[in-house]
Amino acid sequence: MELRKGLEDIAVKETSITYIDGELGRLYYRGYSIFDLAEFSNFEETAYLIWYGKLPNREELSEIREKLASKRELPPSVTKYLMEIKKDSNPMDVLRTAVSMLGVEDTDNSSIMEKSISITSKIPTIIAYFLRLRRGEDIVHPDESLSHAENFYYMVNGKRPSDLESKAMNAALILHMDHEMNASTFACLVVASTLSDIYSSVVAGISALKGPLHGGANSEALKQFMEIGDKEKAEEYVLSKLTKGERLMGFGHRIYKTYDPRAKILKGYAEGITKEKGIYNLYEVAQKVEEVGVKYLGSKGIYPNVDFYSGLVFYSLGFDADMFPTIFASARVVGWTAHVMEYLRNNRLIRPKAIYVGEIGRKYVPIDDRQ
Residues with catalytic roles: 253, 307
Binder of ligand COA out of 302, 312, 313, 317 (CB under 6 A): 302
List all residues 6 or more positions away from 327 whose beta carbon is below 8 Å from its beta carbon.
127, 172, 173, 176, 314, 319
Kindly tell me which of 31 and 298 has the beta carbon lying closer to ligand COA: 298
Binder of ligand COA out of 95, 209, 249, 340 (CB under 6 A): 249
Kindly tell me which of 58 and 300 has the beta carbon lying closer to ligand COA: 300
67 and 51 Cβ atoms separated by less than 8 Å:
no
Q: How far apart are CA 223 and CA 198, in angstroms?
A: 35
Binder of ligand COA out of 300, 351, 353, 370 (CB under 6 A): 300
Kindly tell me which of 168 and 249 has the beta carbon lying closer to ligand COA: 249
CB of 30 to ligand COA, least distance (A): 22
Binder of ligand COA out of 54, 223, 254, 295 (CB under 6 A): 254
Binder of ligand COA out of 25, 142, 205, 252 (CB under 6 A): 252
CB of 257 to ligand COA, least distance (A): 9
> Where does residue 104 fall: left (phi above 0), alpha (psi -120 to 50 degrees), or beta otherwise?
alpha
> Residue 304 burial (CB < 10 Å; 0-12/13-18/19+)?
buried
CB of 215 to ligand COA, least distance (A): 9
Binder of ligand COA out of 190, 202, 248, 334 (CB under 6 A): 248
Contact flag: residue 307 with ligand COA (CB under 6 A): yes
Contact flag: residue 253 with ligand COA (CB under 6 A): yes
Kindly tell me which of 79 and 218 has the beta carbon lying closer to ligand COA: 218
What does the angle CA 200 – CA 307 – CA 245 come to, to the nearest 5 degrees?
A: 110
- Render 270-338 in DSSP notation, one character per residue: HHHHHHHHT-HHHHHHHHHHHHHHHHHHGGGT--B-HHHHHHHHHHHTT--GGGHHHHHHHHHHHHHHH
Length of the chain: 371
Contact flag: residue 38 with ligand COA (CB under 6 A): no
| Bridge partner list, 33 | 28
Closest alpha carbon to 173 in 335, 26, 59? 335
Contact flag: residue 233 with ligand COA (CB under 6 A): no
Site residues (vs ligand COA, CB under 6 A): 213, 217, 247-254, 297, 300, 302, 305-307
